[in-house]
């Protein structure tokens, strides 16, 4: 039962400090190194479920992962998953994801678990530190002791996109003391980017593309990278044959099978890594 050891830039309250997507990618790579062999593409659901603890920026805590029961929000509505910290159970963060079933495929459960573990890595250390400081000057001590910190993933759209700050969030601000809507917005962006980089990392995807593209009528184009953080060559893909979009979709399905996710997940990562240009997207 692995305990992950990680670090990233943070403030004195152990909250992430101006972390870029490239840094989140790097943290996801470190997680993979502690969980699976370097040649592994798909991370099994059982491997993620087996994580038992985290050491993040010097904050050490247990991680309880549950995937056996349908998860509900504060109003009793079924949701995909939650990550929470209850000060009444010190030094333990909890991640709960609804199980594989009629309304959730294994690919969706895996994605949700990756997202919630992202919250545990980037948000739980700050929750634990905040809770350890006790109630504020104007707080009722009895209320503060019962106050829980929680993020909620309500549906698949939550994993596909994050609403603008002024639209609110699928996470309730009231469930995370001291967090503004902007804090919650960036927390969701981090968790989604971590999920994507963990389950379909850039390097492994590029290697799979090199192997599978010729088998699906997809052409690889190479050019110098314009990203100073990713020197060397960049790749982008086109499906130029008569079947066009169909070839690209079949290619994405083959990649999705390889990484244990769905086709839309692969398409998003291909866009994120610059492999797809607008004209190469499936319909």
**pLDDT at site 162:** 55
Average pLDDT per consecutive 10 residues, the chain (283 residues; last block may be shorter): 95 93 96 97 97 97 96 91 93 96 90 97 95 64 61 85 50 57 88 97 96 94 81 83 80 97 95 79 50
**pLDDT at site 147:** 57
Q: Which two tokens stand for residue 248?
A: 């690209």
Task: Output the furthest CA–CA distance in the chain (Å, rounded).
Answer: 69
How far is residue 78's CA from residue 245's CA, in Å, rounded to a whole number? Answer: 36
Measured in whole angstroms, the distance separating CA 88 from the mean position of its chain's CA atoms is 27
**pLDDT at site 242:** 60
What kind and span of H or E run contains 54?
strand 53-56
Q: What is the pTM of this model?
A: 0.88
CA quadruple 72, 73, 77, 81: dihedral sign:
negative
Instruction: List beta partners, residue 235.
Output: 222
Domain boundaries, the chain: 3-199, 202-280
**pLDDT at site 169:** 45
Taking Cα atoms as reference points, which of 45, 114, 125, 46 lies closest to residue 80?
114
């Amino acid at each position: 039962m692995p305990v992950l050891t990680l670090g990233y830039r943070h403030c004195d309250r152990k909250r992430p400090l101006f972390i870029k997507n490239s840094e989140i990618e790097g943290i996801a790579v470190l997680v993979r190194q502690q969980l699976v062999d370097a040649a592994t593409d798909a991370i099994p659901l059982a491997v993620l479920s087996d994580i038992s603890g985290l050491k993040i920026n010097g904050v050490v805590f247990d991680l309880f992962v549950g995937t056996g029961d349908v998860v509900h929000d504060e109003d009793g509505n079924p949701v995909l998953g939650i990550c929470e910290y209850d000060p009444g159970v010190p030094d333990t963060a909890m991640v709960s994801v609804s199980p594989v079933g009629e309304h959730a495929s294994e690919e969706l459960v895996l994605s949700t678990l990756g997202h919630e573990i992202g919250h545990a890595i980037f948000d739980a250390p700050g929750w634990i530190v905040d809770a350890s400081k006790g109630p504020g000057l104007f707080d009722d001590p009895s209320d503060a002791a019962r106050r829980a910190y929680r993020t909620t993933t309500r549906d698949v759209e939550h994993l596909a996109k994050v609403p603008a700050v002024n639209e609110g969030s699928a996470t309730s601000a009231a469930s995370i003391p001291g967090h503004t809507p902007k804090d919650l917005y960036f927390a969701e962006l981090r968790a989604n980017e971590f999920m994507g980089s963990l389950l379909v990392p850039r390097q492994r995807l590029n290697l799979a593309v090199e192997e599978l593209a010729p088998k699906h009528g997809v052409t690889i184009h190479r050019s110098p990278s314009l990203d100073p953080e990713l020197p060397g060559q960049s790749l982008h893909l086109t499906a130029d044959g008569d079947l066009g979009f169909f070839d690209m979709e079949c290619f994405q399905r083959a990649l999705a099978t390889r990484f244990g996710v769905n086709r839309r997940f692969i398409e998003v990562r291909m866009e994120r890594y610059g492999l797809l240009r607008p004209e190469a997207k499936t319909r």
